[in-house]
Amino acid sequence: SQQGEEDPQALSIQEGENATMNCSYKTSINNLQWYRQNSGRGLVHLILIRSNEREKHSGRLRVTLDTSKKSSSLLITASRAADTASYFCAMTTDSWGKLQFGAGTQVVVTP
């Protein structure tokens, strides 16, 4: 079974709007990351938030982490057509660094 579940499964918005997606997980984590995957490509790291952090920003990205609820959210502000991709949360629960992924949210941004 997957460690993470993402919501929504798919999201369609217009350019300029904000996109929010959520990730819930089951066990304690060391850190949580968000990755982006364009169709047919590999994953690209976006942002990492440690288990003792609550919020982190990187450019137009904002990530929150609530360890009491075992959930995280990714907000993309002022979306662009180039943000069209699948977004995955990934958890690290051990010292080796192996990632346990959610099923992803497909985001489509229309011009």
What does the binding site for another protein look like in residue numbers (CB under 8 A)? 2, 4, 30-31, 33, 35, 41-45, 48, 50, 88, 90, 92, 96-104
- Residue 42 or 59 with smaller CB distance to another protein: 42
Beta bridge partners of 10: 106
Cα–Cα distance for residue pair 110/94, rounded to 1 Å: 39
Shortest reach from residue 37's CB to another protein, in Å: 8
Find the shortest distance in angstroms from Cβ 26 to another protein: 14
- Beta carbon of residue 16, minimum distance to another protein (angstroms, whole number): 28
- 100 and 4 Cβ atoms separated by less than 8 Å: yes
Name which of 19 and 36 has its Cβ closer to another protein.
36
Residue pointed to by tokens 């958890």:
91
Other Cβ atoms within 10 Å of 111 Cβ, number: 7
Q: Which is nearer to another protein, 39 or 68 (CB)?
A: 39
Q: Sign of the C-alpha dihedral, residues 53, 33, 72, 77?
A: positive
- Nearest distance in Å: CB 10, another protein: 10
